[in-house]
Structure 1
């Protein structure tokens, strides 16, 4: 699509949201467009950064991600300490988290995208990610429907570093752990490596600003997975295939309310639509080129996309919801998620190579 008609469509949708939904949702749409443009324009791929670190000992992508985490934490933790109405992305340490994070890290390499990566690459017109998107949504929904059973295997209450250590202590610990992560990366890659690249740096800065705006406007951190699951849940309810009143997750008051509202009231849906539009804007100038896939690769990729969605719900988020939003808002579960997902990625990178992706 050309940029002019795309801009006209976004403008028309913005006006519709202002008049029919809310000004907040309309502004969040623009935040999402910015996110999509930043992700696609910088090719800021969480999946790619981890894979390049493992396969090529290239630390530039992970350096950009650590910079993003540091900047987002510097903004989010003080804001959460100052304004009690803002919510942190807290998830319970649990068996569900351990299993989900590992599976997510593994399958995001096979599917070549996490939650945000699937969105922006679908917006760029990458065929596999376009095919994965509905299966990711279905997997996320089924994961939410089964979540209560997973949590019975073992969990503890969510742990907020801010509540335990105060805002200053939580921020100091977060920045210290991020510095230690950089030291670990240095030990992994060795000397003589290039650490910084312009696209990763401006992408990190742009996404940190936009994630902070999302927190202030939505009252909650940036997320992707919930919106996917909501789309599939609403379709399942409309088809009479799912009764939310007998499900532990979807019978919760907030989730039950969202099932009765227009999907445009959901903040994660609005930003995700914006991400698609922002990526489409970038693709209008620089179309994405993808290698053709065999039938076997398509089948494996689509199955991985479904597992990606299912595991993201078990893990209480993806690289955005669990890692970025979890860590930047002081949730212990974000720090548990990262090493488990990275371990899964090390397996996924090898599987990806086996099947010729």
Structure 2
């Protein structure tokens, strides 16, 4: 057991991580019929929170457009525990385990209000953008490439360009 833990503490090569993630994505498709996705669970959790406050959003045009996708979950009422939520919970637990095994877990203080506001606004913009785009980079890129989707390759080019611009903006305004 010690030898396995010793191996897990070493950084894994990028190619191994890529192969492992690809295998997990194929297993997901085979076992539960969906590719890896993140934001659908957040959408459903938001609907569940709004339902708690007696706001029914299931009649909105968004849900009518994706009727076959979301209606079974909306009708059953399993907004917090469903196949999308299980993926997110597994992602968090897996990330925590990987962080603990690599001895990288630590709490960090928020440096200042500017950093907090930037993170909050950025998170809201990302969440809103993923619903407008009907998914995030995992669904658009990671799950699109194995299905030979042209849009995934175009997305990949522009996500890297956008990341470069984003880094320049962060360095200029927040560093």
TM-score band (shorter)? Answer: 0.7 to 0.9
Whole-angstrom distance in 2 between the partners of 1:337 and 1:256: 28
C-alpha distance in 2 between matches for 1:331 and 1:283: 32
Match for residue 313 of structure 1 among 106, 127, 131: 131
Equivalent residue number for residue 95 of structure 2: 279
Q: What TM-score comes out, normalization by structure 1 length?
A: 0.41
Taking structure 2 as the reference length, the TM-score comes to 0.80
By relative contact order (CA 8 Å, sep 6+), the higher-ranking structure is 1
Q: CA deviation at 1:206?
A: 1.1
What secondary structure, in the 3-state scheme, does the structure 2 residue paired with 1:220 have?
A: coil
Report the alpha carbon displacement of residue 291 of structure 1 after superposing the two structures with TM.
6.6
The alignment status of 1:239 with 2:53, answered yes or no, reads yes
Residue 208 (str. 1) matches residue 35 (str. 2) = no
Cα deviation code 1:33-53 (max 9, x no counterpart): xxxxxxxx898xxxxxxxxxx
Q: What is the CA-CA distance between 1:292 and the residue it aligns to?
A: 4.3
Of residues 69, 73, 83, the one that matches 1:258 is: 73
The C-alpha deviation readout for 1:35-88, integer Å capped at 9, x for no partner, is xxxxxx898xxxxxxxxxxxxxxxxxxxxxxxxxxxxxxxxxxxxxxxxxxxxx
Structure 2: tracts of 5 or more residues without a match: 1-8
Give the alignment of 1:83-232 within 5 angstroms: 198-232=12-46
- Distance between the aligned counterparts of 2:72 and 2:63, measured in 1? 9
Deviation digits for residues 102-154 of structure 1 (CA, Å, limit 9, x no counterpart) = xxxxxxxxxxxxxxxxxxxxxxxxxxxxxxxxxxxxxxxxxxxxxxxxxxxxx
Partner of 1:297: 115
- The alignment status of 1:288 with 2:88, answered yes or no, reads no
Q: Give the total of aligned pairs.
A: 162
Do the aligned partners of 1:323 and 1:334 also contact (CA within 8 Å) in 2?
Answer: yes
Structure 2: how far apart are the matches of 1:330 and 1:226? Answer: 22
- Name stretches of at least 5 consecutive residues in structure 1 with no aligned partner: 1-40, 44-197
Q: Deviations over 1:202-239 (max 9, x none)?
A: 21121111111111011121111111111111211231
Q: Secondary structure at the match of 1:326?
A: coil
* Cα root mean square deviation, aligned: 2.4
Q: Residue 215 of structure 1 aligns to a residue in which SS?
A: helix
Give 1:342's aligned residue: 160
